[in-house]
Amino acid sequence: MKLSGAVLLALPLVALGLVAQWLLPGATARLATLLMIYVIAVVGTGVYTGNSGIMSFGHCGFMALGAYASGLVTINPRILHVALPHLPPMLHGLAGHSLWLGLVAALLVVAVTALVFGLPMARLGGEAATIVTLGFLVIVYVVLVASGNITRGSQTFFGIPSGLDPLTVMPIAALSVVLARLYKESHSGLALRAAREDDIAATSIGVNIPRERFAAWLLSALLCGVAGALLAHFLGAFSPKDFYFNLTFLLMAMLILGGISTVTGALGGTVVMFVVLQLLRQIEGGATIAGVHLPPMFGLTSIGGALVILLSMYKLRDGLFGLRELDERFADRLAAPGQARTAAGRPGTGVERLVGKLEVDGVGRRFGGLIALEDVSFTVEPGQVVGLIGPNGAGKSTLINAISGVVPASSGTVRLGGHDVAQMPVHKVPLAGLGRTFQNIRLFRNLTVLENVRAAAEAAGARGEAAVTEARAALAAVGLAEMSGRLAATLPYGAQRRLEIARALALRPSFLLLDEPAAGMNPTETNELIAVLRQIREDHSIGLMVVEHDLKLIMRLCDRIVVLNKGRKIAEGTPDEVRADPHVVEAYIGSRAAEAV
């Protein structure tokens, strides 16, 4: 992502700020200033909500904290004694400073609060996290109301220097948009978006989801804190309810209207909603349009605003501006595939890539009373292709899950290059060298093909252009180079399976664990897949462990085969040995099928 794309997105704000400062009449310029403050708040909320997929009701809490912190630092000292007669003496010296010091105070207070709430909250996803954000909003409100000596409680907090002009707010709004856009394309933003699409798949490429959630939470909190401080200076006087549910729902509506997952959507949704609400507000008091006189219509603004949201959600599920950023629509996303591969190494991941053999030793797994795996042991040599077969319910997927750490083994060890990977946090296992795919495809559906693979390359330590080059090389290896700009969800089925392989390949693993890679493929697609897997093994010296029901594929591809039945290993050997093994024939292949393969 080049800076130019982010700047392009911020240009309309720069233009608005300049026009408002020098060309628009006072009242309209004031509206433009308010609009830009909303942009900061909505784009800020979007940094967390859009990238993590977690709806937040809490960000107005950060705005409130920013407003009060900045208010206390900038309040006119002469008014201070009237407005806050019981202010603790140690806080008296704070008053009377500039807006910029007010913003610094807002950032400090918000950073500390975001840290305290964010660390435990980062472990939560989905509705649980949303409920916590709601709780956060209520807590901030109650604390502000209860801290009357410092905030005037539920009464109006006044005396804040007001009269912000558009040129003061514009650079901050433009910078917020640039920051949000750069964050979205950053290593951290991409990892979080991957987790938003599929947390298990994100973990399988080494994403530390709590860490990425926390980073987004902090950045979005800071932006909202700044927006709150600016709103305080715009209003000059406010109370806690100005930062409560009404504002929360207004900002959420703006975000949803434009499209929750893009900065373009946050920006565009804010502008559209703001303009619509202003127009409705004009009409609500009675107006004459094209010679037709409209009487005052109480509630028109609220009802009209709600209708705009409902209609747009009904017609455009992904918001007015869809899933792609404005600058992406201009950019050439289908650049020629690169073949280069950067040097090995995983800088910044804190995980060493392990090489050597993969040893599965006495692995067992129980689900309650059910023994899904019992005492399974075998070894895969580097570069070897091992097939894992067995009837339905034999424990094949459970074994892949146990090796990759997704479902921890109840007993036994898994060693890679002599190191026990079962002891590692699950997101570190792929970085240590075990890439995997899933029986039911788990792609990041609303990310592009290139982003799906780049997320893995970045998780494994590549950055910037190197990550893109690695991702393109992995896509080329599975024959998807031409599709890099498409959304993953739009790929045909066979291509989706190959994309999952490319994503795992971009981790530069020592072994690839493939769970039914040919499931649902027609014979042509299966033949292509076999060619791809052979090439991968040849080019990258990667060992493969393949779970498959397609015995022809297994027999053609594998050096050795492990056979499971009812959770136990019943045979192991070369394809010829396994094909001739009477236990295997009885349990799985069946005598007629044995003849066929």
Q: Residue 347 or 368: which CB sits closer to ligand ATP? A: 368
Q: Residue 399 or 462: which CB sits closer to ligand ATP? A: 399
To ligand ATP, the closest distance from the beta carbon of 125 in angstroms equals 19
d(CA 144, CA 231): 17
d(CA 297, CA 548): 66
To ligand ATP, the closest distance from the beta carbon of 365 in angstroms equals 8
What part of residues 339-378 is at the interface with ligand ATP (CB under 6 A)?
367, 370, 372
Q: Residue 403 or 481: which CB sits closer to ligand ATP? A: 403
Q: Residue 394 or 424: which CB sits closer to ligand ATP? A: 394
Q: Report the amino acid identity of residue 483.
A: M
Q: Residue 66 or 395: which CB sits closer to ligand ATP? A: 395
- Residue whose pair of structure tokens reads 């594929």 in the numeric block: 553
Instruction: Say if residues 467 and 191 touch (Cβ distance below 8 Å).
Output: no
To ligand ATP, the closest distance from the beta carbon of 367 in angstroms equals 3
d(CA 474, CA 479): 9
To ligand ATP, the closest distance from the beta carbon of 471 in angstroms equals 30
Q: Residue 257 or 407: which CB sits closer to ligand ATP? A: 407
d(CA 375, CA 31): 70
Stretch that binds ligand ATP, among 32-40, 110-118, 393-401, 518-526 (CB under 6 A): 393-401
d(CA 123, CA 222): 20
Stretch that binds ligand ATP, among 53-61, 356-364, 377-385, 390-398 (CB under 6 A): 390-398
Q: Residue 325 or 548: which CB sits closer to ligand ATP? A: 548
Q: Exactly one of 236, 383, 393, 479 binds ligand ATP (CB under 6 A); which one?
A: 393
- By rule CB under 6 A, what string of x and - marks binding of each residue 299-338 to ligand ATP? ----------------------------------------
To ligand ATP, the closest distance from the beta carbon of 444 in angstroms equals 23
- Residue whose pair of structure tokens reads 């499931």 in the numeric block: 519
Q: Residue 242 or 550: which CB sits closer to ligand ATP? A: 550
User: What are 386's strand-pairing partners?
Assistant: 545, 560
Q: Residue 220 or 398: which CB sits closer to ligand ATP? A: 398
Q: Exactly one of 55, 254, 266, 394 binds ligand ATP (CB under 6 A); which one?
A: 394
Pick from 159, 162, 154: nearest CA to 240: 154
To ligand ATP, the closest distance from the beta carbon of 569 in angstroms equals 12
Q: Residue 373 or 533: which CB sits closer to ligand ATP? A: 373
d(CA 166, CA 142): 32
Exposed/middle/buried for 127, CB within 10 Å: 0-12, 13-18, 19+?
Answer: exposed
To ligand ATP, the closest distance from the beta carbon of 395 in angstroms equals 4
Q: Cβ contacts of residue 139 below 8 Å, gap of 6+? A: 61
Q: Exactly one of 395, 412, 433, 509 binds ligand ATP (CB under 6 A); which one?
A: 395
* SS3 state at 516: coil
d(CA 138, CA 2): 39
d(CA 392, CA 377): 20
d(CA 361, CA 377): 4
Cα-based torsion angle of the residue sequence 38, 40, 44, 50 in order, rounded to the nearest 10 degrees = 70
396 binds ligand ATP (CB under 6 A): yes
To ligand ATP, the closest distance from the beta carbon of 513 in angstroms equals 12
Q: Residue 176 or 397: which CB sits closer to ligand ATP? A: 397
Q: Exactly one of 151, 398, 484, 526 binds ligand ATP (CB under 6 A); which one?
A: 398
* Eight-state DSSP code of residue 549: S
Cα-based torsion angle of the residue sequence 589, 592, 596, 597 in order, rounded to the nearest 10 degrees = 20
Residue 465 phi, psi dihedral angles, 5° rounding: -60, -35
Q: Residue 6 or 394: which CB sits closer to ligand ATP? A: 394
Instruction: Say if residues 512 and 501 touch (Cβ distance below 8 Å).
Output: yes
Stretch that binds ligand ATP, among 40-48, 148-156, 355-363, 392-400 (CB under 6 A): 392-400
Q: Exactly one of 51, 312, 349, 397 binds ligand ATP (CB under 6 A); which one?
A: 397
To ligand ATP, the closest distance from the beta carbon of 13 in angstroms equals 49
| Strand duo 543-547 + 385-389: pairing | parallel
d(CA 345, CA 206): 15
Stretch that binds ligand ATP, among 83-91, 246-254, 385-393, 533-541 (CB under 6 A): 385-393
Pick from 39, 37, 19: nearest CA to 29: 19
To ligand ATP, the closest distance from the beta carbon of 436 in angstroms equals 14
Residue 51 in tokens: 């990238």
Q: Exactly one of 71, 390, 412, 543 binds ligand ATP (CB under 6 A); which one?
A: 390
Q: Where are the alpha helices (DSSP H) in 324-420?
A: 326-330, 396-404
Number of residues that bind ligand ATP (CB under 6 A): 12
* Residues recorded for the chain: 597
What are the strands, taking DSSP E only, across 224-356?
287-289, 292-294
| Strand duo 358-367 + 411-416: pairing | antiparallel
Stretch that binds ligand ATP, among 167-175, 351-359, 396-404, 500-508 (CB under 6 A): 396-404
To ligand ATP, the closest distance from the beta carbon of 391 in angstroms equals 7
User: What are 380's strand-pairing partners?
Assistant: 358
100 binds ligand ATP (CB under 6 A): no
Q: Residue 556 or 566: which CB sits closer to ligand ATP? A: 566
Q: Residue 357 or 552: which CB sits closer to ligand ATP? A: 552
What part of residues 414-453 is at the interface with ligand ATP (CB under 6 A)?
439
* Eight-state DSSP code of residue 448: B
571 binds ligand ATP (CB under 6 A): no
Pick from 547, 182, 156: nearest CA to 386: 547
Residues that bind ligand ATP (CB under 6 A): 367, 370, 372, 390, 392-398, 439
